[in-house]
Each structure stands twice: as structure tokens, then as C-alpha cells.
Amino acid sequence: EAQVTQNPRYLITVTGKKLTVTCSQNMNHEYMSWYRQDPGLGLRQIYYSMNVEVTDKGDVPEGYKVSRKEKRNFPLILESPSPNQTSLYFCASSRRGNYGYTFGSGTRLTVV
């Protein structure tokens, strides 16, 4: 089944403890992207990648890192999480060109 898989689905962590949210797609898509969703603020893009080793900032990149070492994976790294990064996170991927994005099921992160 074609899908975008995020792990974990739920995570509670403490301030300052480094964490990684993984994202993997099995559709050979070139484009991948990370979003966060907060009440009243909608979906906001964190980082995106248009190919292996090509990443760029979205609207809210502060406090996050990403890497794209292989086509299928696009992990989101929080080096020193803070409570204001408590949010619902989505990863998405798309074929290059005019195709819709496929989104993962989300990761609900709580930083205490």
C-alpha cells in the first residue's frame, strides 16, 4: 500500500531531550515536507525537500532540523525541544510535478 509512515504516533518528552520523528514513504516521491498544526493556526510548513540532499526552510523552521540522505526518508530532529514545540506534526510527500501530496497520519508531540 502506498503510504507515508510517521513514527511515533504519540510522544511525550521533557524539555531539552533530543528527539527524532521519522518519516518514510514507499512511493519513490521526490518531494517531502514537514508541517506542524496548532489550534487556530492551521498547518504551517517547517521544512521541505525537493530531492536527496536538497532541503529548505518553510515558514517555521526555528528549533528544527531535517536531513534527506535517502529518497524515502525525511526525519525531523528537535535538538533541544521546548514546550512551545508541543504540536501535531505531519509529514507529506509528492511526485515531482503537478501531483497532490500524500500525508502521514501525524505525530502528536508533547514537551513538558
Using the minimum distance from each CB to another protein, give the nearer residue, 17 or 57.
57
Cα separation, 85 vs 107, in Å, equals 12
Using the minimum distance from each CB to another protein, give the nearer residue, 9 or 18.
9
Using the minimum distance from each CB to another protein, give the nearer residue, 56 or 79.
56
Write out the residues near another protein by the rule CB under 8 A. 4, 31, 33, 35, 37, 40-45, 48, 50, 56-59, 88, 90, 92, 94, 96-98, 100-106, 108
Least Å distance, CB 95 to another protein, is 11
Cα separation, 49 vs 53, in Å, equals 8
* Dihedral sign, Cα of residue 43, residue 39, residue 23, residue 67: positive
Q: Which of 16, 26, 50 is nearest to 102 (CA)?
A: 26
